[in-house]
Amino acid sequence: MKNGWEAVIGLEIHAQLSTESKIFCGCSTRFGDEPNSNTCPVCLGLPGSLPVLNRRAVELGARAALSLGLHVNEVSIFARKNYFYPDLPKGYQISQYDRPFSEKGLLEIMTAERDEGGHAREWRPMQIRITRLHLEEDAGKNVHEGLPETERYSYIDLNRAGTPLAEIVTEPDFRTSWEAYDYVNHVRRALQWVGASDADMEKGNLRCEANVSVRRIGEEKFGTKVELKNLNSVRFMQRAIEFEIERQIALIESGGKVTQETRLWDERAGQTRVMRSKEEAHDYRYFPEPDLQPLTVAAEWVEQIRSSMPELPDARRGRFTEQYELSFSDASLFVRDAALADFYERAAAASNPRGAANWLKGELLRELDAAGRQADESPVSPEELGALVRAVEEGRISGKQGKDVLVEMFKTGKGASRTIEDLGLAQVSDAGEIEKIVSGVLAANPQQLEAYRGGKEALFGFFVGQVMKASKGKANPKVVNELLQKKLKAE
């Protein structure tokens, strides 16, 4: 809410489903191949070619829908969405309109406003109404080269034409840019978690659009909306929405009117700019796709898909907070992807939940992030991280030494015990051996011993330091402290 105004925001996400072939033909969906090398008469829209629905795309669409709490319809209809654009070879897109694959979802996410540094304030739950998730084919890609003021060329790459998409549309339930940010991140994680989509925005297999309008607080009528397109990162989307809110408020307050249009986000300039006037649904002249039968799925099949899915991120986070007594922030961190959540559970089983959490978030994740690796690529296995945690907690090495051991384990891939041995860091915990060292230190420092027993108790640290020095840092600090307290009190 800004100076008596509030934003009204709805989101559309286009997620490429992780199939090996396109939705209506057998061409590869592989990313990065030579332009126009993965095409055939079907995805090029050549006369006489007929589409055949990819069963795997339907399965992944169901996983996506169920992960977001949507109802999968028993019957859905494919339709032709007619419009002309250079990268749409048929002159229409096979999509769904009035009878979508799934609809009527209610999704709960966690959201928070941020300070200027982007740090979350107080997290709170928020419910989002998802209108629909429908299946469709993607268009191709326009590639532009050169500057407008000089020679400029445009090329068409149709490798992407016909790749399967799940379009996820919400109701206008968002009021801030950060709510939208948290929702898109939630959806990305859910799709990746269930294996429905790689959801990699850099590769273009997840794209989002935002419909933004503003109205005075207390008004029920929506303002004129503007669609923001081609938002290729979640952070860019948040910035674009924030700018658009400010732009629309300033425009109205200065006596102007918001025009319904499509705008692009210019990250370099930090502003949105006009792309074209916005089309309405009737402009696309939807009608049922005559070359495809209605898509029918049985309730039993949907339940099979549901039962094959893993525990979802929110459920797992809730279990982590209860079963392992983790904080909300720690549990949220560990369920940011499935591999990290699995890693944590195995490390906790190999040591203890609290110790595993501290070493994973504080030390190992730092090494992984610096190396650009994911948890399932870690040279330190969950079991060996657990072994390191046990070594520290049992007093075989100190916490400081443990950090050095972890760095070495990450470099070499060796286990905790072997690395501790190679670095010569194994602590001496034998009370008899340490007692000899303590006795020797006291005998070598009679003046300090007399001063301590005379009331100068600050010298206790001096004796600890001398024992650790004499043992070359290998004496177990806990045993050292216990024996010194006993010996120093003896007359």
Q: Identify the residue with better confidence: 380 or 455.
A: 380
Asked if the model's pLDDT at residue 26 lies above 60, the reply is yes
CA distance linking residue 446 with residue 442, whole number of Å: 6
Q: Over range 203-208, report the average pLDDT.
A: 90
- Band (pLDDT 50/70/90 cuts) for residue 487 is confident
pLDDT of 464 reads: 80
Q: Where are the domains of the chain?
A: 5-299, 311-422, 431-489
pLDDT of 438 reads: 82
Q: Over range 331-352, report the average pLDDT.
A: 94
pLDDT of 428 reads: 61
Q: Identify the residue with better confidence: 31 or 488.
A: 31
Asked if the model's pLDDT at residue 170 lies above 80, the reply is yes
- Quick: pLDDT tens for 234-269: 999 999 999 999 999 999 999 999 999 999 999 999
CA-wise closest residue to 72 among 306, 394, 248: 306
Burial 433-443 (b: 16+ CB within 10 A, else e): ebbebbeebbe
Q: 3-class DSSP state for residue 350?
A: helix
Q: 3-class DSSP state for residue 25?
A: coil
CA distance linking residue 97 with residue 286, whole number of Å: 7
Asked if the model's pLDDT at residue 158 lies above 60, the reply is yes
- Quick: pLDDT tens for 87-135: 999 999 999 999 999 999 999 988 988 887 777 778 888 999 999 999 9
Asked if the model's pLDDT at residue 490 lies above 70, the reply is no
- Band (pLDDT 50/70/90 cuts) for residue 323 is very high
- Quick: pLDDT tens for 272-300: 999 877 666 668 899 999 999 999 999 99
pLDDT of 463 reads: 83
pLDDT of 270 reads: 92
Asked if the model's pLDDT at residue 491 lies above 60, the reply is no
CA distance linking residue 449 with residue 232, whole number of Å: 70
pLDDT of 447 reads: 83
| 41 phi and psi angles, rounded to 5 deg | -55, -30
CA distance linking residue 167 with residue 96, whole number of Å: 10
pLDDT of 149 reads: 66
Which of 148-152, 327-331, 458-462 shows the lowest mean pLDDT across its residues?
A: 148-152
Percent of the chain's residues with pLDDT above 70: 97
Asked if the model's pLDDT at residue 197 lies above 70, the reply is yes
CATH of domain 431-489: 1.10.10.410
Rg (CA), the chain: 31
Q: Over range 445-470, report the average pLDDT.
A: 82
12, two tokens: 């559309």
Q: Over range 39-48, report the average pLDDT.
A: 95
pLDDT of 430 reads: 62
Residue that the structure tokens 């072994």 belong to: 387
Helix (H) or strand (E) holding 159: none
For the chain, what is the largest distance between any 2 Cα atoms, rounded to a whole number of angstroms?
104
Strands (E), 292-385: 295-296
How far from each other are the two terminal CA atoms of the chain, in whole angstroms? 73
Q: 3-class DSSP state for residue 89?
A: coil
